[in-house]
Amino acid sequence: MSKNRKHNSKKTGRKLSASQLREEVLKLFRRHPKKQLNPKQIVRKLKVANNRDSVQDALEKLSESNELKPTGDYKFKLNRQDHAARSNGQYATGIVDMTRSGDAYIVCEGQEQDVHVSAKYLNTAMNGDKVKIRTWTPSGRRKPEGEVEQILERARDHFIGTLWMYPKHAVVTIDIVPPIDVEVNMKDMPQASDEDRVVVRIDEWPDRHKHNPKGTITTVLGKAGSSDIEMKTILVNNGFDLEFPQDVKREAEYLPARISEEEIKRRRDLREVTTITVDPEDAKDFDDALSIRHLENGEIEVGVHIADVTHYVKEGNPLDKEAFNRSTSVYLVDRVLPMLPERLSNDLCSLRPNVDRLAFSALFVFNKSNKIINRWFGKTVIHSDQRFTYEEAQERIEGQGGSFAQEIQQLAKLARHLRKQRYKEGAINFETEEVKFRLDKDAVPVEVYIKERKEAHMMIEDFMLLANREVAQFISLKGRDQEIPYVYRIHDEPDPDKVMELSRFAREMGFDMNISSPEQVAKAYNRLAQEVQKRPELRLLSPLAIRTMAKAAYSTENIGHYGLGFEYYTHFTSPIRRYSDVLAHRLLEPNLSHNDFYRVNKSRLEDQCSHISKKERNAITAERESIKYKQVEYIEKHIGEEFDGFINGMMDRGFFVELEAGLIEGMVPFETLDEPFDVSDSRLRMVGAFSKKEYKMGQRVRVRIARADLAKRQIEMDWVREETVPAGSGGNNGKSHNRNKRRKR
């Protein structure tokens, strides 16, 4: 909202915006389905201040969308076929998936086709909301249309927006398409100024779309433009609250820090066993620890110890409800939004060194052939002897000495054996590159680099995978005669059509894949990972291969984990930052006794799994958005500088380049080049119209940074071409995107 908008809003009269006018005109025709009306009659009936030309434009737009049909002499009437279809439509339930235009598609379970819903029929429904819709198929069309009848469940109630203050009232314009004004109570408003960015909680939604919702400002962020506000905006827009409710904070503060002797007696005491943690240098929440001891018969016992969150977070209390609502910690580039308050995540539950801590442990006994011959699960009390960073653990693995070097080397040896066995059994070796940033004191990026994964990282990962697999197998086999509902981490086989498309793409780049079965696909993906080390131009195939895969999710229906090659898998090892693991602990403990069987309502547990999966996807989106923002923020300081990169995408308007440094992606528009280009239908190659030179996906190119737009998170590049384009018949090849005149900058 601009100052002009503020001024106009004070005017009297009923002049509607174009969208409001179309909505009111359509309502008028629906009230009188048999009437034919012209613009003059409509202006008189609606009593609006809009002129006849604007009404005529609204009528034509409604005609284009088949809502109305012209009858001659400037008159229109309701398209009764579509009206009848709409009136006799069927009902369905689904999730709103908004588009940039403000329209939406409703994803309905069990239906192949998503239902398109125009913005005017959303009735205040927003992205992610669960809704009941009426669907119909308009005459002459194949795809279903719909209208939201009822909002069953709101995806979120907190939004980011801009505050606009008036003498007697205030509104917050929230950042969605189309924007919505939320009326806020000035009496309860925290200290804020006009045009501040704020977080608003919507308390009351209107029955009809033309009314504004009412809300309360919960957080004042300040003036727009800072990186801090952008990061907070990313979190709120993805459905995560910035603050914990007061009752949750109070409950966390009242939890006792001292572990009672009675509690210790109920547990297996492992405080004398050598125990360490290995985490990133900046970590504060230590979810897991490893212990190792040599038994008298030459066997080795390894303990995977996990923070016992469920000892503190009791089912149904405010802490538990808030943890479930969040479902996950969110890791942005410059901050962590925790699932649990810091009193728990960084203190009571964190397996810090030199203090006694409560744990839920998985103990594994390895024989001299590195085979697991015994396992035990249960509640313990542990005492971590030392905290290591990954770098410090790696030094010991590489033989540089130091405290607990022998223990870490023995753990690494066992982990290598587990890893080798996993790949032998069909796991896919996808080592995705992770972007990291070095930030200054103001959280501004001064360096972008790719995180180096060394054996210390893989060692911890291998033991966590082991614990997760063994827990899932234990609970599943115990319930084979009568199912014990549990939280499984599942991963389906890849989409055959997407795999076929990837195979054709890979063949064009000189890499053949055997895709005759899911097992062969896994082998092909592993071979691709090895080949990328020799042929860097193939690196763009790795993310494409990942996109063929189903998304991992949580479910009570165990279908196994295709990517890991596991028949049984769960998440048990990170309850400080994942609610799925909290549930896994709660369901495992009462089932540890051989004779006891603890079962919960499977339908309710499946609903919890769906919620957790959804929040996980939201967190991944937020993390990616923060990385993209920081990449653009970094490259903004390098305008005019040249970098090497790879072509990783082509379209009619230009091609995309990913820089070798920091996986930063930008676009080279064709209009900036000295000759037109033809892009093949496969989008895998392009040919210069004059030079006749061909460029392929994955080819190395050199570019210059031309522009960086932080608001849109977009980067534009110039292509630094070594060859000279031959002089000749200038002009273009008849395609609008190839009228390539050098732009003035």
What pLDDT score was predicted for residue 669? 94
pLDDT in tens, 327-356: 999 999 999 999 999 999 999 999 999 999
Pairing of strands 268-269, 488-490: unpaired
H-state helical runs in 283-362: 318-326, 342
Give pLDDT, residue 229: 92
Q: What digits encode the pLDDT tens for the residues 649-679?
A: 898 889 999 998 778 999 999 999 989 999 9
Q: What number is the average pLDDT over the span 48-75?
A: 85
Whether the Cβ atoms of residue 540 and residue 508 lie closer than 8 Å to each other = no
Geometric angle at alpha carbon 697, from 540 and 702, rounded to 5°: 95
Choose between 406 and 546: higher pLDDT: 406
Predicted local confidence at residue 84, as pLDDT: 54
Closest C-alpha among 371, 383, 365 to residue 302: 365
| Residue 667, token pair as written in the block | 């676009």
Instruction: Indicate if the pLDDT at residue 514 is higher than 50.
Output: yes
pLDDT in tens, 570-584: 999 999 999 999 999
Q: What structural domains and CATH numbers belong to the chain?
A: 15-78 (1.10.10.10), 83-153 (2.40.50.140), 158-224 (2.40.50.700), 249-488+564-620 (no CATH), 639-738 (2.40.50.140)
User: Cα–Cα distances in Å, from 20 out to 54, 284, 333, 687?
Assistant: 12, 51, 41, 48
Token reading at 373: 């011959």
Q: What is the mean pLDDT of residues 478-507?
A: 91
3 state SS of 342: helix
pLDDT digits (tens, 9 = 90+) for 230-267: 999 999 989 999 999 999 999 999 999 999 999 999 99
pLDDT band at 290 (very low <50, low <70, confident <90, very high): very high
Strand pairing report for 214-222 and 180-184: parallel
Q: Which of 110-119, 251-260, 277-286, 403-412 has the lowest mean pLDDT?
A: 110-119
Among 74-78, 401-405, 573-577, whose mean pLDDT is lowest? 74-78
The pLDDT-based confidence of 433 (bands split at 50, 70, 90) is confident
Least trusted range by pLDDT, from 146-160, 390-404, 477-491, 568-582: 146-160
In degrees rounded to 5, what are phi and psi of residue 253? -70, -30
pLDDT score recorded for residue 193: 86
Where would I find the H helices in 255-316?
A: 261-265
Mean of all residue pLDDT scores within the chain: 88
Residue with the bigger pLDDT between 446 and 683: it is 446
Q: For position 87, what pLDDT does the model report?
A: 56
The CA dihedral of 696, 702, 707, 710, to the nearest 10 degrees, is 70
**Position 297 pLDDT exceeds 80:** yes
Which pLDDT score, from 0 to 100, does residue 724 have? Answer: 53
Whether 560 and 476 have beta carbons less than 8 Å apart is answered as no
Tokens of 518: 């899911």
Tell me which DSSP letter residue 223 carries.
S
DSSP assignment of 375-434, as one string? Answer: EEEEEEEEEB-EEEEHHHHHHHHTT---TTHHHHHHHHHHHHHHHHHHHHTT--------
What is the pLDDT confidence band of residue 45, given thresholds at 50, 70 and 90? confident
- Within 10 angstroms of residue 441's Cβ, the number of other Cβ atoms is 5
Mean pLDDT across the stretch 114-138?
85
Range 54-57 contact pairs with CB under 8 angstroms and sequence separation of 24 or more? 54/18, 54/21, 55/21, 55/25, 57/18
Question: Distance between CA atoms of 588 and 571, rounded to whole angstroms?
Answer: 12
Question: Which band of pLDDT confidence, cut at 50, 70 and 90, is reported for residue 737?
Answer: very low
* Out of 165-179, 386-400, 716-730, least confident range: 716-730
Q: How far apart are CA 715 and CA 635, in angstroms?
A: 8
Tell me the Cα Rg of the chain. Answer: 30
Residue 612: phi and psi, rounded to 5, are -65, -40
DSSP 494: P
Q: Would the pLDDT of 4 be above 70?
A: no
**Phi, psi dihedral angles at 423 (to 5 degrees):** -70, -35
Q: Which residues contact 370 (CB under 8 A, 6 or more apart)?
A: 413, 414, 417
Check: CB of residue 133 under 8 Å from CB of residue 176.
no
Beta strands in 99-234 (DSSP E): 104-108, 115-117, 130-136, 145-153, 158-165, 170-174, 180-184, 197-204, 214-222
The residue ranking higher by pLDDT, 123 or 624, is 624
CA gap 145, 106 in Å, rounded: 10
Most confident segment among 31-35, 199-203, 532-536, 588-592: 588-592
With cut-offs at 50, 70 and 90, classify the pLDDT of residue 1.
very low
- Asked whether 385 and 276 are in contact (CB, 8 A), the reply is yes
**Which secondary structure element, helix H or strand E, spans residue 293, and what is its range?**
strand 288-294
Helix (H, G, I), strand (E, B) or coil at 523: helix
DSSP string for residues in 640-708: T-EEEEEEEEEETTEEEEEETTTT-EEEEEGGGSSS-EEEPTTSSEEEETTT--EEETT-EEEEEEEEE
Asked if residue 319 has pLDDT above 90, the reply is yes
In whole angstroms, what is the distance from residue 698 CA to residue 540 CA?
A: 6
Which token pair is 567? 């028949």
Element (H, E) at 246: helix 246-254
